Amino acid sequence: MARDVLRAVRERDAYANLVLPVLLRERRLSGRDAAFATELAYGACRSRGTLDAVIADCAGREVGDIDGPLLDVLRLGVYQLLRTRVEPHAAVDTSVELVRAEFGGGRAGFVNAVLRRAGERTADEWVDRLAPRDPLGRMAFEYAHPVWIAQAFADALGARAGELREALAADDERPAVHLVARPGDITAEELALVTGGEEGRWSPYAVYLDGGDPGKLAPVREGMAAVQDEGSQLVALSLTRAPLLGPDTGRWLDLCAGPGGKTALLGALADIDGFRVDAVEPAEHRADLVRKATQGLPVSVHVTDGRDSGLTPGYDRVLVDAPCTGLGALRRRPEARWRRTPADVRDLTVLQRELLTAAWDLLRPGGVVVYSTCSPHLPETVAVVADLVRRTGAEQLDTRDLFPGVTDLGDGPAAQLWPHRHGTDAMFAATLRKPT
């Protein structure tokens, strides 16, 4: 099963976190077997850069010159040898048998030779042999990150760049599942009792799960809870807590709504006060996800481009959870770190600035907009906000005040979450108020 996930990622650019749950259900794997398949598939996807360097050294050729189906198996085998407690002979034998069953003995012999060479050194010894000599490059190799992403993290950490090793290590671990309890339907305390989970540290609606398939839980099936990172919950909540100038008339807007997690939380909170939320999503299939996530809530979904939505201005609160590189959620999207390139950033920052400007134009005087990204990358975060402030005279509020009880959010006025500090995705949030 793990091999089939890697093959889908390689051949179809599939997302491992979407492929694996389907396979688990189709093949009825559960318990320890499901956990092991998950560890193998996600771990091999996360570690691909490091694994490929080892494979290339052992094979005496670039990984691009190795047949894709063999490379999938080699990645699984080397991952087991260097990053799990699987016995070396078992890792080698099962890998060889996978290849022999599909391609015969000749190719199986090649896989056997490569894996036996890989197993001659420990993970630390491979780091010493293959990692770049500079400290940042070595850390990036050791924790399976492209160097440019490690540099982006170091830049975002700023004066606390000494935490880079902790940040990369946390980003290289399998994250806990976070649930959100829908306000008005169930409390976090009740959700924790029903699911056997633990109440979250920061969000009043968060519950942590050790593992398992959250889709099988009754509160999730019944729409009383959903899977949502605690950092995303905090961003949505910050919009509702931001101080307005003048009364809240109950016109809220989520300008980048798909797939609907933050919209659903905003809609549930709006419902309590008799308010309404407009949700904008340009892609029909993602708009349908928003509709499903917000069923029964006072949310109107508009299938349109947020940069030219045609909506009537005058909103009290606007959320711009902008499309971004997703560098803050790499631990939840195992293969993403090897797909993104620095070239992606330029087009995204143009889009981010356009969306934030559109949100500003839809905001009433005295209203607030929260700009957020699931990325700590400075060109996508503080640079985008600074550009709007310079052009419009926006008043930047201290977003850290809107995350009550959450510590270590940075120097302000924006708030920056980190996996190694908060156990959340590395969400960024800035709050801007339109002068009257």
Q: Which residues are catalytic?
A: 374
The position carrying tokens 């042999």 is: 129
Apex 240 CA angle, 188 and 237, nearest 5: 40
Cα dihedral 187→191→194→195 (10° resolution) = 180
**387 appears as a binding residue in the annotation:** no
Q: Whose CA is closest to 356, among 292, 428, 271? A: 428
**262 appears as a binding residue in the annotation:** yes
**77 appears as a binding residue in the annotation:** no
Cα dihedral 389→233→404→187 (10° resolution) = 150
**258 appears as a binding residue in the annotation:** yes
Alpha-carbon distance of 323 to 375, in angstroms, equals 10
**412 appears as a binding residue in the annotation:** no
**305 appears as a binding residue in the annotation:** yes
**173 appears as a binding residue in the annotation:** no
CA atoms within 13 A on the CB side of 195: 35
Alpha-carbon distance of 285 to 301, in angstroms, equals 12
Q: Whose CA is closest to 368, among 246, 275, 278, 280? A: 246
User: What is the SS3 assignment for 368-416?
Assistant: EEEEEECCCCHHHCHHHHHHHHHHHCCEEECHHHHCCCCCCCCCCCCEE
**259 appears as a binding residue in the annotation:** yes
Residue 309 CB partners (closer than 8 Å, separation 6+) = 255, 280, 302, 358, 362
**321 appears as a binding residue in the annotation:** yes
**435 appears as a binding residue in the annotation:** no
The position carrying tokens 């008005």 is: 184
- Decide if 226 contacts 186 (C-beta within 8 A): no
- Encode 17-31: b = buried (16+ Cβ within 10 Å), e = exposed: bebbeebbeeeebee
179 phi and psi, to 5 degrees?
-110, 155
Cross-strand partners of 299: 277
Binding-site residue set for S-adenosyl-L-methionine: 256-262, 281, 305, 321
